[in-house]
Structure 1
């Protein structure tokens, strides 16, 4: 598998294809039309490669950044960017992925535009619904993955335990072993 899907939501996982956004050189996971097709297939948006080309990749990056701008505005309690709203709504208004029934079961087939429409629709569902209040950004400083916190008490700190959670816990353990415990909130007596 070429891509990671820690969020379980196509729109948020799509935003995560630009890793470590705040680093001087973020890691771009959608560097070619082929990697975009792989993302569509691996995410389950489609069952086959839609045959993306360079203009489709440019459109995908535009949609990804628009979704991120809206998510970031929501996380920081700022007004939504009108341009980002327009981009997401334009993509969401296009025909979605076609679901077909075959002798083998359900089959998802799409053009790149249809696949992007499905991602935009997932973003609309999150940002326009009750799940918007559950949005969080990963607590690992190098990670900028956004996820929905469905944990009890809304105490989830990382996008995924298998990646960022393990790294943060290991770093905290090493710091304690060195006699350098991580900072904790002051307790009141």
Structure 2
């Protein structure tokens, strides 16, 4: 299956927040408009081997916005309660298949995915890694990512996309000025 959603932000909850692409810009795009899209996100980035088909993306979008608020602060009491409620949902359970492969199971995979995402966000904001969460410097992007570079000075969510765009734009501006 070709990748539909962006990943590589450094944490699953950061990849999840990116489903509101170009947040805060005129180009903002909702990538989870319905249950089909939410299921596709789980299928691409979640731990389940079987396709997940949730009826709606309403809870996913509510969690995404709560995670975004948590990461960018300040956090309202209602948001904290929402995050805690999602984190308390049953999480997927690992099991070993006869083939020796690790499989993840849940009675309700979509709810279990919400639990994983909420737990990941809560773990991130209470860890030393949180100091390395950055906003992409790309003028049209705004995605959050975990800066795992040794000096902690990474500027773009993706050098191949946002970094390359900025460098091309700078080069063109310099060339036009000469």
- The answer to whether TM tops 0.5 is yes
- The answer to whether the 8 Å contact 1:45/1:118 transfers is no
Q: What is the aligned partner in structure 1 of residue 96 from structure 2?
A: 101
Q: Normalization by structure 1: what TM-score?
A: 0.86
Q: C-alpha distance in 2, partners of 1:160/1:135?
A: 14
Q: What is the aligned partner in structure 1 of residue 140 from structure 2?
A: 142
Q: What is the aligned partner in structure 2 of residue 61 from structure 1?
A: 61
Q: CA RMSD in A?
A: 1.5
**Count of matched residue positions in the alignment of Structure 1 and Structure 2:** 173
Q: C-alpha distance in 2, partners of 1:8/1:134?
A: 10
Q: Deviations over 1:46-99 (max 9, x none)?
A: 232222112xx10000000000011111xxxxx322222111111011111122
Q: What is the aligned partner in structure 2 of residue 88 from structure 1?
A: 83
Q: What is the aligned partner in structure 2 of residue 37 from structure 1?
A: 39
Give 5+ residue unaligned stretches, structure 2.
none
Give 5+ residue unaligned stretches, structure 1.
74-78, 181-189
Q: 1:132 to 1:99 in 2, by over 3 A?
A: same
Q: 1:151 to 1:22 in 2, by over 3 A?
A: same
Among residues 112, 115, 121, which one is paired with 1:114 in the alignment?
112
Could you say what secondary structure the match of 1:152 adopts? coil
Q: Deviations over 1:20-47 (max 9, x none)?
A: 1112351011122111111112113323
Q: Normalization by structure 2: what TM-score?
A: 0.91
